[in-house]
Structure 1
Amino acid sequence: MASAVTGAALTLPAVGVAQQASAAPWLCLASEADIYAAAPARVNGDPGDLLACRQVTLPGFSDIRMKAWKVRYVSTDVKGAKTVATGFVAVPEAAWTKGGSRPVVTFHPGSSGLGPQCAFSKQMAGAYVDHYEGPNVAEFLKAGFAVAATDGAGYIDGQVHRYMVGHSAGNALLDIARTSRQIPGGSLRSDGKVGIAGYSEGGQAALWAAQLAASYAPELKVAGAAAGGVPGDLKVTAQRLNGGLFAGFAADALVGHNAAYPAMPFDELMNDEGAKAVEDAKKLCLFGTLGRFLGARVENLTKDKLTVDQIWQLRGPDGTWGELADRSKLGVDIGTPGSAATYKIGFPVFQYRGVLEEIIPTETEDATRAAYCKAGINTTWNQGYPGEHLTTDWLAAGDVTRFLGDRFEGKPVAGNC
C-alpha cells in the first residue's frame, strides 16, 4: 500500500474545480491538487453532485480487478450550508449477477487523524500512512459490491476534518452514494440498492447516515446499515478518554468540533501547551496522534485548568459545548417510518462490538443499541466478537458483508432486540 499511484493524471485548465465548483466534469481528468483544493467562496450544485474526479489505482487491492476514482463532491455542513467533501469510488470489473443493478456500499472509515495526508482516499490510493480499513473494503469488493468511501468533511486545503460531528459525517456518507452514480462512463445506476457501513468513527457516521437517509436522501434505496464500535454519546466517551491511553481521540474530537463551530470559544481557552497541542493534532495521523496525546488531560491544556464538564458548560453563539456534543448523540428522536420521530429508519440495522472493547465505553455502545430497539427499529446486535476495539473491526468484516449482501438480495431478517 506504500507504492505510489501509477499513471499520469491530466490537469484541468486554470478555470478548474477550485474556482467553479458547480461545473460537472465530462471526463475524470482532475489533477491530485484539484481533488483536494480549497473550497470556493460559494459552492454551487446539489448535495452529492460530482465536482471533479481522477482515475486511480488502489495498490492494496491489486488482486481485485476494478476501476477506481478519487472524487470531489458537494455535501452539507452542520448548519445546512453547501460544502466540499472528498473520497473514492471503486467498482469491480466482474459482472454483477445477482439481479438488478450493482449495489454500492457507502463507507466511512474509522479514525484516520486530522492531518491532510491522512485522508482515507489518499492512503488507499498509495500514500499509505497507517490506515487499517483495507481488509474491510476488500470484503465488499470481493462480494461484487461497489464501494463509495468518503474521507468525511474537511480533508481539503484550508480546512480541518470535522471529526465526530455526526450530522456532517452522515451527510458526507449519503452524498458520496449519490456521487458514485455520476462518474463519467461509470456503470452504477440510480436504481441500485445502497448499504451503509462503518466502524468506530465510521460507525457513528453510519448510524447518522441511517438516521438522516429518509429526510436528507430519500431517493436512495437504502437496504441496510452496519455500524460497530459506536461512540453513541460523545460526553460519556470524552470523559472516559481524558487522561487515558487513547486521549488522542478526545483531542481530535475537540479540534474537529471547533472546525465545525469556529465561532465557539476555543483558541482563547488554551494555554501555550494547549495551543501547541491543537496545532500538532491538525498535522498528525492516527498513531502519531495517539502517541502525542498519550495520557493527556484537557485540564493541563487550558488556561483555567478547565475540566471536561466545565467545557461542556461554556456558551458561545451556537449554544453550549455540551449542547453541541449532544447534537451528535445517537438514538435520540428516532423511530420507524410510520412514527412521528424526527429520524425515521425503515431498513434493518446491524450493530456490534467486541468483548474486550477498551476504547469506547461499552455503556454508550449498549445504550445506542437499546435506543434503536426501544424505537422499534429492526436491529441485529452482536456483542460477542473475541477482540478489542481494533481487531473487532476485522473480525466482524465477514458478518457485515453478509448482512448487507442479504439485504441487497431482499432476504428478511427478524433482528434480536
Structure 2
Amino acid sequence: MATDYAPNAQGVHPYIIGEGEARSALDSVRAAKHIPELTLGDQAVVWGHSQGGHAALWTGIAGQAYAPDVKIAGVAAIAPASNMVEIMVLHGGDSSGARLGPYLATAYSQYFPDVTFDDAVRPEAREIARKIAGLCQFDPRDIPTLEKLTKDLNGAPVLVDPAGGAFGQRLRENAPNGQIPVPLLIAQGTTDVVVFPEVNDDYVKERCSAGQSVAYWKVPGQDHGGIVAPDSPLGGPLFTWTRDRFAGRPQAPGCDEEMIGQT
C-alpha cells in the first residue's frame, strides 16, 4: 500500500517532513488491515523512492515509537532524498532546484511556525515559485506550464539559502539521521542528477560511522527514474532482499557496498 498524496488529499502535505511522512506510511499499513477483502501478515517491508526514500528511512526511524503494532522487517530506500540541504546546494538554479525549492518552501512554511515562504524564497522568485508550488511535475497537464515557469527564472536559485535561517535548520532536523533497528538497504543510480550519488555516498558513510548497518547498492548507468523503471536491474535483487526479510533471514552486520547489474 502507499500513502495518499493526491492533490485533493486533505491537510498539509508533509513534503520531506520526516515525522509526518512516517506517520502517514505507518497509518496506511494500519488502515489496510481493516479492509475485509485483504488478508495481510503481521510484518511489513518498507520501500520508497526519492521523497518516498526519505519517507521510508523516517518510517524505519519512527516506527517502533509511533506504531509498535506494525512489525517492520526491513527498509529499502531507493535514491532517497537523505540530505536536502546538500541536494539543494548542488542544484543551485537548475531545473530540478527550480521545482524542488518551491515545494519545500511551501510545505515547510505551512508546517513549521518559524518558517515563512517569503524568508525562504528570494523576492524576485516568489511569484513564480508560488505558481510552481501549485503544479505537479508528474501530471502531463502541468508539465508545459512548469517548463515555462522554470525558464522564466533564468537559472537563478529559488531559495535564499538552503542552509540558512529557520528554513535551513528545519531541513537539517528532517534529515533521516536516527537509528533504524531493522535491516536497511539503500540503492543509488550512478548517473542520477536529481539525488546526486555523492549525497547518498556521504549519507551512508555518516550512518555507518554512527553504528548503523547498511547494505549499499550502486546501480551503474541508472538515473533517478531509470532505477525504478520496469526494466531496472535493481528489481530482481530487491525482490530477493525483500523475500529474505519476510523469511526472517538476517542481513550481514556492518556496511557493505555492492554494484548491482554490472556486467
Residues 201-240 of structure 1: matches in 2 within 5 Å? Answer: 201-240=51-90
Choose between structure 1 and 2: higher strand proportion: 1
Q: Which residue of 2 aligns with 1:383?
A: 218
- TM-score scaled by length of structure 1: 0.53
Aligned-partner Cα distance in 2 for 1:383–1:264 = 36
Aligned pair in 2 of structure 1 residues 296, 174: CA closer, same or farther (>3 Å)? farther
Q: Which residue of 1 aligns with 2:182?
A: 347
Q: Which residue of 2 aligns with 1:244?
A: 94
Q: Any gaps of 5 or more consecutive residues in structure 1? A: 1-147, 314-319, 336-344
Q: CA deviation at 1:233?
A: 1.2
Residues 51-200 of structure 1: matches in 2 within 5 Å? Answer: 148-152=1-5, 155-157=8-10, 159-189=11-41, 192-200=42-50
Instruction: Give the partner amino acid of 1:360.
Output: V
Aligned-partner Cα distance in 1 for 2:83–2:6 = 20
Q: CA deviation at 1:290?
A: 5.4
Please list the CA deviations of residues 366-396 of structure 1 after superposition, one character each: whole Å capped at 9, or x if unmatched.
1221233223333211113321111012322
Secondary structure of the 2:170 match is helix
Choose between structure 1 and 2: higher helix proportion: 2
Aligned pair in 2 of structure 1 residues 300, 178: CA closer, same or farther (>3 Å)? closer
Q: Is the 8 A contact 2:135 2:146 kept in 1?
A: no
Aligned pair in 2 of structure 1 residues 237, 265: CA closer, same or farther (>3 Å)? same
Q: Which residue of 2 aligns with 1:414?
A: 252
Secondary structure of the 1:347 match is coil
Instruction: Give the partner amino acid of 1:172.
Output: S
2:238 is the counterpart of 1:400: yes
RMSD: 2.8
Secondary structure of the 2:58 match is helix
Aligned-partner Cα distance in 1 for 2:67–2:25 = 11
Would you say how many aligned residue pairs link Structure 1 and Structure 2? Answer: 245
Computing the radius of gyration over CA atoms, which structure comes out larger, 1 or 2? 1
Aligned-partner Cα distance in 2 for 1:258–1:154 = 18
Aligned pair in 2 of structure 1 residues 299, 393: CA closer, same or farther (>3 Å)? same
- TM-score scaled by length of structure 2: 0.81
Aligned-partner Cα distance in 2 for 1:323–1:273 = 21
Q: CA deviation at 1:329?
A: 1.1
Instruction: Give the partner amino acid of 2:133.
Output: A
Aligned-partner Cα distance in 2 for 1:228–1:262 = 31
Aligned-partner Cα distance in 2 for 1:328–1:298 = 27
Q: Which residue of 2 aligns with 1:293?
A: 150
Q: Tell me which of the two structures has the higher relative contact order, counting C-alpha pairs closer than 8 angstroms and 6 or more residues apart.
A: 2
Q: CA deviation at 1:156?
A: 2.0
Instruction: Give the partner amino acid of 1:401.
Output: F
Aligned-partner Cα distance in 2 for 1:373–1:401 = 24
Aligned pair in 2 of structure 1 residues 153, 259: CA closer, same or farther (>3 Å)? farther
Q: Which residue of 1 aligns with 2:136?
A: 284
Aligned-partner Cα distance in 2 for 1:212–1:197 = 15
Aligned pair in 2 of structure 1 residues 150, 352: CA closer, same or farther (>3 Å)? same
